[in-house]
A and B are shown apart, each in its own frame.
Chain A
Amino acid sequence: MTVKQRNALDWAKLACDTLMNQYEPVKLPPADRWHYHQGVFLCGMHDVWEQTDEQKYFEYFKEYVDKLVDEEGNFYFARSELDAIQPGLLLLPLYNETKDEKYKVAAAKLRNLLNTLNKTKEGGFWHKDKYPYQMWLDGLYMAGPFTIQYGQMFGEPELTDLVMEQERLMRKNTKKENGLYYHGYDESKQTPWSTEKGHAPEVWGRALGWYSMVTANFIEMLPEDHPKRDELKQVVHELIDALIKFQDEKTGLWYQVVDKAGEADNYLESSCSCLFTYAIAKAVNKGYVDKSYWTYAEKAFQGLIENKVEVDDKGNFHLHDICIGTSIGTYDYYVHRETSTNDLHGVGAFILASVQLAIGSENKE
């Protein structure tokens, strides 16, 4: 028996198909909710749709949105947090494809959150009211790309600068000497984890993963002559240089607490490894770093397939060792968080990375 060798796009499709067979769109966990877990996964599916032009993928993420957003563009979402904005990334392509006004109305509701969310003195958005005075790296991905694209589609180009300012504040407040970034920042310094400078005590993989992905994605969204383009290219380059220093030699993967490989109970975590793979592959594909970096992305992807991915005898895809939803905390908290299999954070990140690998491999041929 010969086993067909899967390429990166095959892996992305297998991951999508497995979950599509398991859940109707609106029942993806947490069921019946507008939530970034589904948002990340369906953004991955969106990329697969673009890459393959297979309509079933488009229909699937459309159904998720249509079951939650009514004909007038009404829907329930958490109104005090950046996380609620992320699935807005599905509304924009749906509007482009269908020109149905309800998607635009719903998107405007998310855009208007930016008028009411609480902010730090410097103007940085609080991550959620539950975490007052705190900026989290995660938030830049949750709200940034939607905000820029919404502004460009609907006549508010100044929103780009709003997002760039958020990015600047993240960098200013969370950058570590080794080139990585701490999980977040507490302006009030009241949170028990807060360090003297206010930043989080540790570098958490997935949060840094979002940041690496989003900065790599921002560049192409900026107008050609935007002064931030060169600055962001440098940010991306420096971050990737720092990341590859902490890539596990043997597996090509990254640790849950990225720069503390040798410490007790730290482990190689799947979702951050996917997101860093994405960032590196995307940066190569777009020419932000040179082609020699491709080997790091390839090694990481191979490491994921060999160490974290399993295909069962029914042909279903499983991605293991995905850290569940996690807040800012101390070292022990991060390394003792539970992990799960096929958590959408992780599968979504895997699909996104796979598509970048597929694009890069195509470019080579």
Chain B
Amino acid sequence: MKKVQLFLAGDSTMSHYEASAFPRMGWGQALQNFFTDELIVKNHAASGRSTKSFINENRWAVMEREFSEGDYVLIQFGHNDQKPDEARATKPFTTYQENLRFFIHRARSFGVTPILLTSIARRHFDKDGKLLETHGEYPRAMRELAVREGIIFIDMLENTKEALINLGPERSKDWFMWVDPNQYEGYPDGEKDDTHLRAEGAHAHAKIFIEEIVRFNHPLCKYIKSEVTK
């Protein structure tokens, strides 16, 4: 039987990292662990990409060549769409939505089911321990588009925000690239990064995604390993 493919289109929070970058990991990298081998995760997410540069660098087109009917594609952009440079910048309610609509319609034309995901939360607490909103209007633009297009939308931003708030400013560092100097070979000077995930956070974020598809009883659930939800 042909295996189902789950494509990932996104940015550095989702993408794959080489072992030399350990413990840095994108959450997409942790996803295969939750699924049986009936489903193959194909991670096309790439650091620094916005909806615009993902299209213009032919990354979407390359992914399309592997599409086959019955597959799924997760689409998660936003972090870099808000960057100011010409190559990446989009506006939430115009170009960002247009690019997302392009993804949706292209995927559908191949019989591939698109799923939209808002960006994961950044670990930005203010001095009073409140989590700051850093994604502007992009999440709302995506949510509105999903409702209009009648497609499944997973609010990773809200769900990961809740998780970070519950962990609090200190413990949430364990999910992000906060590493001490010389703690890991690849990071002699250490890191204090509130956007990029380390292995623990990648796994936790993938679990949040899995919990959401279970909540919806989404068709992808049948590929989840039984020990994951029990």
A residues at B contact (CB < 8 Å): 29-33, 76, 130, 132-133, 188, 190-193, 201, 265, 325, 327-333, 336
Contacts and interface: CB of A to CB of B under 8 A. Distances in A.
Contacts of B152: 192
Contacts, number: 53
A328 B217 CA distance: 11
A182 to B, nearest CB: 15
A31 B168 contact: yes
Given A76-B130, A336-B230, A192 B165 contact: no
Q: Chain B at the A interface: mostly helix, strand, loop or mixed? A: helix
A193 B215 contact: yes
Contact of B150 (A31, A190, A265, A333): A190
A330 B224 CA distance: 15
B158 A33 contact: no
A192 B212 CA distance: 11
B230 A330 contact: no
A329 B215 contact: yes
Contacts of B214: 329-330, 332-333, 336
Count class of interface residues, chain B: 20 to 34
Contacts of A188: 147
Given A190-B150, A265-B230, A336-B230, A30 B168 contact: yes
Nearest to B146: A190
B143 A330 contact: no
B218 interface: yes
A222 B179 CA distance: 58
Contact of B211 (A29, A192, A201, A333): A333
Interface string B77-111: 00000000000000000000000000000000000
Interface in B123-166: 128-130, 143, 147, 150, 152, 155, 158, 162, 165-166
A337 to B, nearest CB: 8
A179 to B, nearest CB: 25
Nearest to B126: A76
Contacts of A190: 147, 150
Given A30-B168, A32-B128, A193 B216 contact: yes
A35 B168 CA distance: 14
A330 B215 contact: yes
B40 interface: no
Given A329-B215, A333-B211, A333-B214, A32 B230 contact: no
Interface of B: 128-130, 143, 147, 150, 152, 155, 158, 162, 165-166, 168, 211, 214-218, 221, 229-230
B145 to A, nearest CB: 12
A24 to B, nearest CB: 14
A31 B170 CA distance: 12
28 contacts: A29-B166, A30-B165, A31-B129, A31-B168, A33-B130, A33-B165, A76-B130, A130-B158, A132-B143, A132-B147, A190-B147, A191-B216, A192-B217, A192-B218, A193-B215, A193-B216, A193-B217, A265-B230, A325-B162, A329-B215, A329-B217, A332-B214, A332-B229, A333-B211, A333-B217, A336-B214, A336-B229, A336-B230
A188 B143 CA distance: 13
A272 B153 CA distance: 30
Nearest to A331: B217
A14 to B, nearest CB: 26
B129 A32 contact: yes
Nearest to A332: B214
Contacts of B162: 325
B118 to A, nearest CB: 10
Contact of A330 (B155, B166, B216): B216
A331 B217 CA distance: 8
A191 B151 CA distance: 9
Contacts of A130: 155, 158
A202 B168 CA distance: 32
A246 to B, nearest CB: 23
B197 to A, nearest CB: 21
A360 to B, nearest CB: 36
Given A30-B168, A327-B215, A331-B217, 15 more contacts: A31-B129, A31-B168, A130-B158, A132-B143, A190-B150, A192-B152, A192-B216, A192-B217, A193-B216, A201-B217, A265-B230, A330-B215, A330-B217, A332-B214, A332-B221
